[in-house]
Amino acid sequence: MLGWGRGKSDHPMADERGAKELLAELPANDSFKALQEISQWLELTRDAEGIKPLRVYEIVEQLDAAAKPHQRKLSQEYLGAGNRLQRFQEQRIWGALTDLWRQLGAAYEFCLAQTLPGVAGSGALKPYAPTITCRAVRALGLELKWGLLRYGPVDPTLWARLGALYAQAEQGSFALKTCTVYAGAHGQASVQREYVKALMLCMSATDSLLPRKLEVAERVVAQYSEQFVLQKQPAKGCHYYVDLAAGKPPARMIARITSGGTVRYFGPGAASDMLNQVIDGITQTGAIPTDLNLGGSYEPGMVVEVLRHLSRYWSPLPPSRSEERHKSFARINVVHNFEDVVAIIAGESNDLSFDENIETWTVENESENGYGAVIPQSKSDWLKVGSLLGFKLEDGSSWGVGIVRRMTNDGNQQRYVGIQTLAKGGARVKLFPVGTKPATEDGDDAVLLPSSAADSSGSGELSLLMRMGSFSPRQTFQMRAYEREYVLVPKQLVEGGEDFDMAKFRVTQKAA
């Protein structure tokens, strides 16, 4: 508690002059420190005494506006840096932004509570209830997004708070009222629209998206949120449900749920068909529509990947697994990054120093083409969706190659990862751009992945794991493998990661 006096508040922002002085003292060139101070003032304002409800709202609004440029700067730094941020920098930025959204949401929730009957001064604030609720829901939605960027878990109270906000909007008959949430483009919304944005983002399987793709997904959700449906009865286009009072995340409808009470049904509505039209348009023209607001510049191919991902998970039927997973208990040894994967495949890992790069994970389930494993939070700071792995069962005889496809953090300091097996085995080979004279010690390392499309005579196709940036659709290679030379014509880049390219080639010639 701050020491407010009776009838008159000692809060430094209680009057406009004090507010201007405090805001002017925020560090303009240190966004991290500025957000820390703003978050602290948001929290302290909720404990203020002697301030009328309307003035409390004005203070929160001023702090919200002051945070905007710093929030944008740190968000762009976090999302634009990819894996270039050091671990402590990433944690520092993420923590500052997450705390801002948490405190901002709580501050607007507090303001909304001041509009209820029986609160002195509530009458002056009540007309602002739709805007206040929209801002509270949006702040909590952004807290959700930043939790998903780190693959969870999110604050366990978040869904209960969101449900309570929407329920109050329904009870006050303003859930559908359009208002100006913030000035500027795309500033119009309703409480229902803001709420269903958070619900749909949660149902979009973001645990398999890299942060940059999740940012695009969140923008797409916002773009099409006007088409989303949220209602009290199940209907076409509503594949999901949420219980406003249960405090639990939304879920897909597997069987019919009892209607009425606090259960609400929601889904993409017309947005699903519109999404498919955009996918077709980008595929045909190679350009992103000018009316698709993604908040930045992105490659059309990457945007199409995200749109197709959303289209799959917004469909009436969820994507099915290609193989059944079986419960299992085993341990796997894991190495990461391209250089170490090549070394382990080549059998060059006998140095004691290399052993420090090997981690041991616990397998919980497996299928023909993958594993589900649990690892402690304290390990594997490098781990991301899309990370390249070399792995071997603890009692296995050979190393395989895989990629992290899904990752989730739980509340018990553990992470669950889904690993797709790219190949069970492999062989190190040397690559030379055609036109150069290969020498025994020269050439770039690559891993030849076993493929049913390639046969022992060297005809057909083969798959290679290469260093990032090595593949070009115009570059033909000469490959040295098993003491023979092969000419490879590029066919397609199957996948690119932060340190690798995986590509298919056609063998057109075999040297004697």
Please give, one letter per residue, the 3-state secondary structure of 164-226.
HHHHHHHHCCCCCCCEECCCCCCCEECHHHHHHHHHHHHCCCHHHCCHHHHHHHHHHHHHCHH
Plot region of 493 (φ>0 → left; ψ -120 to 50 → alpha; else → beta): beta
3-state secondary structure string, 457-509?
CCCEEEEEEEECCCCCCCCCEEEEECCEEEEEEEEEEEEECCCEEEEEEEEEE
> φ and ψ at 124, to 5 degrees?
-70, -25
| pLDDT score of 488 | 93
Per-residue pLDDT band for 356 (boundaries 50, 70, 90) equals low
Give dist(CA 108, CA 45) in Å, integer: 11
Can you tell me the mean pLDDT for 98-126? Answer: 95
Per-residue pLDDT band for 104 (boundaries 50, 70, 90) equals very high
Q: Measured between alpha carbons, how far is residue 24 from residues 18, 65, 117, 365 in Å?
A: 10, 13, 36, 56
Give the dihedral sign, CA 412/418/423/427: negative
- Count of residues for the chain? 512
pLDDT averaged over the chain? 87
* More confident of the two residues 384 and 490: 490
What residues contact 301, with CB distance under 8 A and at least 6 apart? Answer: none
| pLDDT score of 380 | 65
| pLDDT score of 83 | 59
Helix spans in 15-86 (H) = 16-24, 31-45, 53-81
What residues contact 21, with CB distance under 8 A and at least 6 apart? Answer: 12
C-alpha Rg value of the chain to the nearest Å: 27
Q: What is the DSSP letter of 243?
A: E
What is the per-residue pLDDT across 116-148, written as a single tens digit (0 to 9) for each?
988 998 999 999 999 999 999 999 999 999 999
Give dist(CA 381, CA 175) in Å, integer: 42
Classify domain 326-423 at the CATH superfamily level: predicted glycosyltransferase like domains (2.40.10.220)
Is the pLDDT at 1 greater than 50? The verdict is no
Is the pLDDT at 321 greater than 70? The verdict is no
Largest distance between two CA atoms of the chain: 96
First to last CA, the chain: 84
| pLDDT score of 50 | 86
| pLDDT score of 455 | 41
Per-residue pLDDT band for 484 (boundaries 50, 70, 90) equals confident
Is the pLDDT at 335 greater than 60? The verdict is yes
Is the pLDDT at 456 greater than 50? The verdict is no
Domain ranges within the chain, ordered by starting residue? 16-313, 326-423, 427-510
Q: Measured between alpha carbons, how far is residue 94 from residues 139, 207, 309 in Å?
A: 15, 17, 25
Give dist(CA 104, CA 134) in Å, integer: 12
3-state secondary structure of 452: coil
Do the Cβ atoms of 443 and 451 come closer than 8 Å?
Answer: no
Looking at this protein, which amino acid is placed at residue 345? I
| pLDDT score of 260 | 66
| pLDDT score of 324 | 63
Whether this model's pTM surpasses 0.85: no
What is the per-residue pLDDT across 14-37, written as a single tens digit (0 to 9) for each?
899 999 999 999 999 999 999 999
Look-up of token digits 């941020």: 85
Q: Can you name the residues that pair with 240 across neighbouring β-strands?
A: 252, 266
Closest by alpha carbon to 166, among 78, 222, 250, 100? 250
What residues contact 187, with CB distance under 8 A and at least 6 apart? Answer: 180, 181
Do the Cβ atoms of 404 and 419 come closer than 8 Å?
Answer: yes
CB neighbourhood size of 158 (10 A)? 21
3-state secondary structure of 310: helix
What is the per-residue pLDDT across 389-430, written as a single tens digit (0 to 9) for each?
999 988 887 888 999 998 887 766 678 899 999 888 888 999
What is the per-residue pLDDT across 151-191, written as a single tens digit (0 to 9) for each?
877 888 999 999 999 999 999 999 999 999 998 877 899 99
Q: What is the DSSP letter of 121?
A: T
Least confident of 39-53, 169-183, 440-454: 440-454
Look-up of token digits 């008959």: 173
Least confident of 213-217, 224-228, 285-289, 344-348: 344-348
Can you tell me the mean pLDDT for 81-85? Answer: 65
Can you tell me the mean pLDDT for 177-206? Answer: 93
3-state secondary structure of 241: strand
| pLDDT score of 2 | 44
Can you tell me the mean pLDDT for 101-112? Answer: 97
Look-up of token digits 């939070």: 377
